[in-house]
Amino acid sequence: MVANEQGPSLAIRRSLTTVSRGARAPHRTRGTGWQAFLFLVPALLLVGLIFIYPVYSLVRMSLFQSLGIMSLYVGFDNYQVVLSDPLFLASIRNNLVLMACVPIMIVVALVLALLLFEQRKAAPLYRFILFTPYIISITVSGIAFSAMLTKNGALNQMLDAARLGFLRQDWLGDPKIALLSVGAVIIWREAVLGVILFVARLLSLSTEPLEAAMVDGATRWRAHWSVTLPQMRGIIGFYAITSVITVAVWTFSYVFVMTNGGPGNATMTADLYIYQNAFTVAQMNLAASAATLVLIAAIGVVAVSALLPRLRRTS
Amino acid sequence: MSTASGDGKTARRRDGTWAGDVHFLHPTRTFRLPPPAARMRMGGVLQQAIQLLASLVALFPLWFMVWTAIRSQKDYFRSPLGWPQGIQWDNFTRAFDENIGRWVLNSAIVTGGAVLLVTLISVPAAYAFVRLPFKGSAILLKIFVFLMVIPPIVMLLPLFSLMNALGRVNHVDSVIVAYAGLMFPFSVFMMTRYIETIPSDLYEAAFVEGASHVRILSSIVVPLIVPALLTLGIVNALWAWNELLIAVVMLQREESRTLQAGLALLKGKNTMDIPLVMAGATISAIPLLLLYLFGQRVFMSGLMAGAVKE
């Protein structure tokens, strides 16, 4: 029973203390490490094939330049070319602009999740409706949005009908606002993930602190603000990190379907830049160095997010 | 507090739950709404208005898609939102002429194959992490889970070169393996968390009888984790069915495309024929919407379990 305190991973040992010696002996002598390895072989092969080899190969690719069938080692030259490419810098800038979506997504998701939580009779219906953007693929909703956002599309028609015709825009065709329109569509879908996360967390919270605050005379929103929100800090942080990674390196489907980086390069993003360099311009080595930079950025975001709470605790 | 207790309709059931509670399947716990007394009335007009507006915004593109799919091109350009002048089923037949039936089949093969493959690989791995811990296994699991944050665009170029060298480009198996790999980190994480919750007493009898680990996994663990397997399957299937980037790169021949890749390229090819593209999009959305509509509970729990992947 003592072994039980050391965590579930030692559950086997616990079973051994309660079972007669003769019965367990064969399991012990066989050696668990060897068996664990057998169980893990397919997983290790898969991870090696899909993650380890590609990352190794990517870094290698980024340091070479192919000339026909030959490859020439060029050191960091590809990185230099990519980092001085105005298009790459523009796409990084666009990804940074899209980061402005993250706080909006958090607020929208929090409000909707709290409303869902407080809603009584119609909660299942609203939940069903609000989750649909996450069920539908980005491709499908991107296709619908790109038709709705054209000059003579549904949105402008609605604005006219509401006598707001002066707000008419060529939402995806005007370089000045195309990126914002893409951002709005990203919010439309990705905020739903926040609602799902926050509702799941809300439903797992104890209601007692909230009730106590209400007894003390706090209004319900005040009680949520000072009692519920602090308990949600962890999940909000998790959602924020996930969303930052999404808008930084995971925007391909949105821009590929809606704008393909246009008009001009107004909505070019880092992953679309890599895709185009690799598969339309056939500059694999340049694309590889850009992808390596993206990998470093993704690891950086995770590292910073892992370090932040520790820094706060020590200070 | 008094506002909620005033309404006598909500009754406490014998098992301590409340009428109207929502239960979710979840690896570790059952979610339950707080008792009515704590769920203060949010009767405010403003709150209802926000929810109604949010619902309209959430559903509008979907409605617009169907609305457009059933009309003629001329009718659409006359007024995108106007009442259709007669229903035009022709768009759907034309969509099927564009190979969409084949794409649906490819998507089904890719999704089914990848979900099956990743389940067959991640369940034994998770079992090993829980029941057969070795030196460094905790770190290995952490590394596996960390892989979740690496975006597919990073692996894509070398994977494409590799599959090209092996002659697997334009074959669904390349995409099945790639999807299984990308779904693996989350799958092994979720399965580990779930298998950890199985009380060890359940293994003891099997140990006494001298059953092997393979036997224990297949006849004790797997039957116990069927709900979790279902949830995981749904999260993974949703992801695989909707994936675009890898499909576009790996499946370039028209007849080998998945639905998403086919649709994206159909849209690029028919910039003016919007009703046709919308018909294609509708066909692609229907299977998921039907599943969502009829399997709502499993879907919800899948989404929430997929969501709680801290």
Average pLDDT, chain B: 82
Nearest to B81 by CA among B68, B90, B94, B69: B68
DSSP string, chain B: -HHHHT-TT--B-TTS-BTT------SS----PPPTTTS-----HHHHHHHHHHHHHHHHHHHHHHHHHTS-HHHHHH-TTSPPSS--THHHHHHHHTTHHHHHHHHHHHHHHHHHHHHHHHHHHHHHHHHS--TTHHHHHHHHHHGGGS-HHHHHHHHHHHHHHTT-TTSHHHHHHHHHHHHHHHHHHHHHHHHHTS-THHHHHHHHTT--HHHHIIIIIHHHTHHHHHHHHHHHHHHHHH--HHHHHH--SGGG--HHHHHHHHHHH-SS-HHHHHHHHHHHHHHHHHHHHHTHHHHHHHHHHHH---
What integer pLDDT is reported at residue A312 of this predicted model? Answer: 66
According to CATH, the topology of domain A83-314 is MetI-like fold (1.10.3720)
Residue B11, token pair as written in the block: 């009754």
Shortest CB distance from A61 goes to which of B157, B200, B238? B157
Binary contact (A197, B307; C-beta < 8 A) = yes
Burial B272-303 (b: 16+ CB within 10 A, else e): ebbbbbbbbbbbbbeebeebbeeeeebbbbbb
What integer pLDDT is reported at residue A120 of this predicted model? Answer: 67
**Which residue in B143, B157, B190 has the most chain A C-beta atoms within 10 A of its own C-beta, making it the best mutation to test that interface?**
B157
B16 pLDDT more than 70: no
What integer pLDDT is reported at residue A47 of this predicted model? Answer: 96
Q: Chain A residues with CB inside 8 Å of B263's CB? A: 139-140, 143
Q: What is the pTM of this model?
A: 0.83
Binary contact (A274, B64; C-beta < 8 A) = no
Listed range (A10-14, A99-103, B176-180, B288-292) with the worst mean pLDDT: A10-14
Cα(B176)–Cα(A31) distance, integer angstroms: 34
Mean pLDDT on B144-170: 91
What integer pLDDT is reported at residue B265 of this predicted model? Answer: 87
B193 → chain A, closest CA residue: A8
B17-56: pLDDT as tens digits:
544 444 444 444 444 555 444 444 545 788 888 999 999 9
Binary contact (B284, A140; C-beta < 8 A) = yes
Binary contact (A138, B242; C-beta < 8 A) = yes
Cβ contact B156:B182 at 8 Å:
no
Q: Chain A residues with CB inside 8 Å of B24's CB? A: 200, 203
According to CATH, the topology of domain B98-307 is MetI-like fold (1.10.3720)
pLDDT category of residue B154 using cuts at 50, 70 and 90: very high
> Chain B: nearest CA to A314, how far in angstroms?
23
What are the residue ranges spanned by the domains of chain A?
1-30, 83-314
Local confidence pLDDT in tens for the 315 residues of chain A:
333 333 333 333 334 333 333 333 334 434 567 788 889 999 999 999 999 999 999 999 999 988 777 888 888 888 999 999 999 999 999 999 999 999 999 999 999 999 988 876 777 888 889 999 999 999 999 999 999 998 888 898 888 888 888 888 889 988 989 999 999 999 999 999 999 989 888 888 888 888 888 777 777 778 888 888 888 888 898 899 889 988 988 899 999 999 988 788 899 999 999 999 999 888 889 999 999 999 998 899 888 888 877 666 665
| Most confidently predicted of A164-178, B70-84, B118-132 | B118-132
Burial B102-139 (b: 16+ CB within 10 A, else e): bbbebbeebbebbbebbbebbbbbbbbbbbbbbeebee
Q: Where in chain B is the domain with CATH 1.10.3720.10?
A: 98-307
Residue A157, C-beta contacts closer than 8 angstroms, at least 6 positions apart: B79, B80, B81
